[in-house]
Chains A and B, each alone.
Chain A
């Protein structure tokens, strides 16, 4: 059975801190790994990673995939209160492009 594990499950930091969120996976026919941010409604897309070792960056957020270790990290630098959300890691795999989600990391950024 495909599995995606995220850690930590929750994290509380102060504004300005840097955080690293972890995601590891066991998936058949791996195609890509995706990071999403979920606030009150449906998840919004952050990154898709397909190739190992290549960092994707968007502003203060960056992510990298390690296919050898079957893992990925999401970094957020200089955190702001608006970064407070659940960050979901999902892996695309299988014959039908099935997305398997981790349980998410609840990030709380305090002023």
Chain B
């Protein structure tokens, strides 16, 4: 099946710094990638839809200036959490669409101290 990777798998950063998370589709091209956030004991919440070569579409309540998404190629999308705060600590998961299925990356655990 299709494989999606994320890097890093775990990151700890200080409040006020920025963190970049990469999402790659390893053996297929993904015109659309999705970014989700999952807080402890809660379900996945879609943050934004990333389309290659165009601006991301953000869900209501997600700050586009804080969560910068770049989908520069058909195999790579990045999420940058700018000026991170402790409340941004979460599990961030990307997925890439192949045909009508979505394949998930392994996730990135972000801890902001």
Do these two chains interact?
yes
Are B32 and A99 interface neighbours, CB within 8 A? no
B39: min CB distance to chain A, Å: 11
Within 8 A of B (CB), among A63-111: 88, 90, 92, 96-104
Sort chain B's interface into a size bin: 20 to 34
Contacts beyond the supplied A32-B100, A43-B44, A100-B46: 13 A-B pairs with Cβ under 8 Å: A31-B100, A41-B107, A42-B93, A42-B104, A44-B104, A45-B101, A45-B104, A88-B43, A92-B102, A97-B102, A99-B102, A101-B44, A103-B43
Are B43 and A101 interface neighbours, CB within 8 A? yes
Are A99 and B34 interface neighbours, CB within 8 A? yes
Q: Find the B residue at minimum CB distance from A6.
A: B43
Q: Find the A residue at minimum CB distance from B1.
A: A45
**Which chain B residues have a beta carbon within 8 Å of chain A's beta carbons?**
1, 32, 34, 42-46, 49, 57, 93, 95, 97, 100-107
Sort chain A's interface into a size bin: 20 to 34
